[in-house]
Copies of this chain bind each other. A is one copy, B any other.
């Protein structure tokens, strides 16, 4: 009677904020959570497996799929397409598995349009200064490159208002706990519980 389908989770945040580390920790402890595998037209690098790192496709395959509504979102970077295949996500969701998409803000808004029930989570640095320090990295990069990245990050941070939840990654353990709480709570939302409510109130 309870709603057994999984939730689609959109996970965004500026480069350098620690999204990957947070997700890794969550995926290790939540057996019901799965990372979405993206599709790409770039050639596989050594060690990369089809269906694990990416679904590798030709441009024709990718374009056909996208034109036929087979991608939840997609974009072109450096002459290659990257996207989220819809069928793969839907299959997991129907099995009751939560699927997380780690995507940038433009893609996130595309997915939200197609899947209005998607849970949108944005990860923030504790401050602009902290993000700048992280992006500066080991001082081996030019000031110009860091400035460029900061300009992109500043733009991305503005998009946080469009998300449902905002998690500050200051302390990793706390941020992961908050991410887990948000995912757990999403299964109790009145929207997720609608089937159950209809059954009890019939």
Contacts and interface: CB of A to CB of B under 8 A. Distances in A.
Contacts of A172: none
A127 B188 contact: no
Contacts of A160: 190, 193, 197, 201
Interface residues of A, number: 33
Interface stretch (A89-97, A99-107, A137-145, A179-187): A179-187
B201 A158 contact: yes
Interface string A161-202: 101111110000000011011101111111001001100110
A124 interface: yes
Contacts of A24: none
A4 interface: no
Contacts of A187: 178
A73 B95 CA distance: 43
Given A127-B200, A200-B124, A201-B158, A165 B184 contact: no
A147 interface: no
A196 B168 contact: yes
Nearest to A198: B161
